[in-house]
Amino acid sequence: MVDIAIMGYGVVGSGVAEIITTHTQSLKKRAKEEINIKYILDIRDFPGNPLEDKFTKNFSDILNDDDVKVVVEVMGGLNPAYDYVKQCLEKGKSVVTSNKELVATKGAQLLQIARDKNVNFLFEASVGGGIPIIRPMSQCLAANDVIEIEGILNGTTNFILTKMIRDNMSFEDALSLAQSLGYAEKDPTADVEGYDALRKICILASLAYGKHVYPDGIHTEGISKITLDDVSYAEAWGGVIKLIGSVKKLDDGRLDIFVAPMILSKHNQLASVDDVFNGIMVKGDSTGDVVFYGKGAGKMPTASAVVADVIDCIKHFKARKYLYWADGDNSEYILPYGESVCAMYVRVKYADGVDIHSVVDDIFGGAQFINKQNPVENEAAFITNKMTVDHFHSLAEMLECNDVKIESQIRMGEE
Ligand code: HSE
């Protein structure tokens, strides 16, 4: 029998406890050991809970119990999660986490401690909820050089955008629904403004390129400025708006990495990834495109990935799993966002008397206007040629000197 502890009894923690207590026999077969939850750490009380006798408010109960070999951290946030996880690893306990913020900001340090102590630090559930992605990338795709990763990495925003696109639902109503379904972070700003997707693309980039990619300073846009007008212009063009985390290795070795809403052609493999589902496309030099698809948020999908990592820890007490990336410095390998190249969708309002087609043509030569049913007076939308983001901004400034106001601008995906 192996004793484990769960730190945090929220949505994911309670799901982990549920899987372990309801699948006892099948987990025993797979882990070759019975998994026993010895402690659950939470500051709250859970009177009447069937696991009531396991609860503790004292982290040192877990830290100082040498029988506890695997600790599950599902508290979320950096503090006190980082301190607790670090101490557990230093004490020689393996740690499993679903905490994206922890892995994205402290992954290199924690992986180094795990390596030094010959224990495991596993985090399959930190990206893509129930979708296997960390293990396939570090093992099955290990013979590839990863050229590019593009993903819908946040279930909450994908759910919101889907409701806006399909049901014309307002942003606020769709967010409330996502929260009530347990998809959103405690503070949904992290979902809506793209920080959650940023942490996930940083984890995948670190894994793919072997150097820690820190979230700080990486261009991040969320979906809070997306309107139903943009949704309908995208539809008229033949596309959909998705929040995308993207990283591409350039010929000079630098990484073009960002999170932003993008208009994807309906032919793009990610365009039909809807609701709370995530989709992650990994382009390897040998494999070409490999696409991972599944539920990216929610109690049971995420908990299942956590429990799978617990099993892996138990099976690898003696032979540590190889999962590692080195520390690094973003300034040495991240492309400044202004140098990133893309075509841009632009929606404008203009004053009476402005000949918008000729103004746009003069400034953005070759832009393609989008015609939609029920055109709005003094409003137009167009798609630019590909250019650097910095060049786009300088042309956008010139446009605004012509009695034209830019209402929105959204990156176009690759065809
Ligand atoms: N809030 C996250 C999401 C949870 O919506 O994707 C899973 O990481």
pLDDT tens-digit series, residues 211-244: 999 999 999 999 999 998 999 999 999 999 999 9
Average pLDDT of the chain?
Answer: 96
Q: Where are the alpha helices (DSSP H) in 185-240?
A: 189-192, 195-209, 228-237
> 74, 134, 154: which to mutate for ligand 1, most atoms within 8 A of CB?
154
List, for residues 8-28, the tens digit of each pLDDT value.
999 999 999 999 999 999 999
Of ligand 1's atoms, which has the minimum distance to the CA of residue 200?
8
What distances in angstroms separate CA 193 from CA 178, 199, 224, one per listed residue?
Answer: 15, 12, 7
Global pTM value? 0.96
Residue whose C-alpha is closest to residue 264's, from 234, 229, 233, 222? 234
Contact 323, 137 (CB under 8 A): no
Task: Find the farthest-apart pair of alpha carbons in the chain and give their distance in angstroms, rounded.
Answer: 79
**For the ranges 77-91, 108-122, 148-162, 307-321, which has the lowest average pLDDT?**
307-321
Q: What is the mean pLDDT of residues 172-185?
A: 89
CA of 203 to the centre of ligand 1 (A): 14
Please report the domains of the chain, with CATH numbers, ordered by start residue.
2-130+299-327 (3.40.50.720), 135-295 (3.30.360.10), 338-412 (3.30.70.1340)
Catalytic, out of 54, 69, 106, 200: 200
> 124, 133, 177, 185: which to mutate for ligand 1, most atoms within 8 A of CB?
185
Q: Where are the alpha helices (DSSP H) in 64-129?
A: 81-90, 100-117
Of ligand 1's atoms, which has the minimum distance to the CA of residue 156?
5
CA of 304 to the centre of ligand 1 (A): 15
The whole-number pLDDT of residue 31 equals 94
Burial of 322 (0-12, 13-18, 19+ CB in 10 A): exposed
> How far apart, in whole angstroms, are the C-alpha atoms of residue 340 and residue 364?
18
List, for residues 272-296, the tens digit of each pLDDT value.
999 999 999 999 999 999 999 999 9
Please, which pLDDT band fits residue 170 given cuts at 50, 70 and 90? Answer: confident
Q: 273 by DSSP, 3-state: which?
A: coil
**Does the annotation count 405 as an active-site position?**
no
The ligand 1 site (C-beta within 6 Å) comprises 129, 154-156, 183-185, 191, 196, 296-297
* CA nearest ligand 1 atom 7, residue: 297
